Amino acid sequence: MLYAVFMSSALPPFPKSQGPLEPPQLLEVGAGPDEPCLRADAARNRARLLEAAARLIAEHGVAGVTMEAVAAAAQVGKGTVFRRFGDRTGLLMALLDHSGRQLQADFLGGPPPLGPGAPPLERLRAFGVAVLYRSAEQLDLQLAAQPEPDRRFSHPAVRALRTHVTMLLRQIVPDADCDLLSQTLMASLDPALIHHLTRQCGMPMERLEAAWIDLVALVTRTERPR
């Protein structure tokens, strides 16, 4: 039924051409888009604050990370934490910085099939699986770090992942509305959905992985690998 919906001739035709799409750049998730390069002393202070926040998570979970608690653990004023990260969401996003940059490094320049060198369809399959398991490992932190709705989809880290998916789709199905389909694919990797399916519905990760492969096949009009 879903396949029929995707392939229905009643749907409006896909656009024949789309605007140019710049390759995603390796981003620092914790830094704001307008934040200047940090001086050495500011960078050290930032690292000190993140180390304090990481200790709080290890000891008390994500709920234990507040701006006040981080300031106390790092022995700085609360205003210092707010100036560096803006708010609690900015702080939590910064804690995801390392793994986010590592994931981007893997799909931009790592070994195939996630990195360059594999066919785009294989890279797309590998990308979703990598994001699924990364999210599962950091689920509480990812849920707590989700930006507000008005900036949830425009955050640089989110845009980098979506841009990568869009570029792969344009190589696989150039006649499709790849910009919109990339949103559909990324929605299936949303941490809140993964939380619901794994922790509330008790689904194993293997089932989510298989569903991603099925969804990719439907969206790209290709056969599921045997």
Report pLDDT digits (tens) over 77-114.
899 999 998 988 888 888 877 668 888 999 999 999 99
Other C-beta atoms closer than 10 Å to the C-beta of 156 total 16
pLDDT in tens, 198-214: 999 999 999 999 999 99
8 Å CB contact between 124 and 216: yes
3-state secondary structure of 22: coil
Could you tell me which residue, 201 or 63, shows the higher pLDDT? 201
Residue 59 has φ and ψ, to the nearest 5°, of -90, -35
Is the fold of 41-87 the same as that of 96-220?
A: no
CATH number of 41-87: 1.10.10
What residue segments make up the domains of the chain, in order of their start? 41-87, 96-220
Would you give the DSSP letter of residue 196?
Answer: I
| The CATH number fitting domain 96-220, selected from 1.25.40, 1.10.357, 3.10.20, 3.30.750 | 1.10.357
- The angle, 0 to 180 degrees and rounded to 10, between the axes of the packed helices 78-85 and 67-74 is 120
pTM to 2 decimal places: 0.71
- Cα–Cα distance for residue pair 14/83, rounded to 1 Å: 46
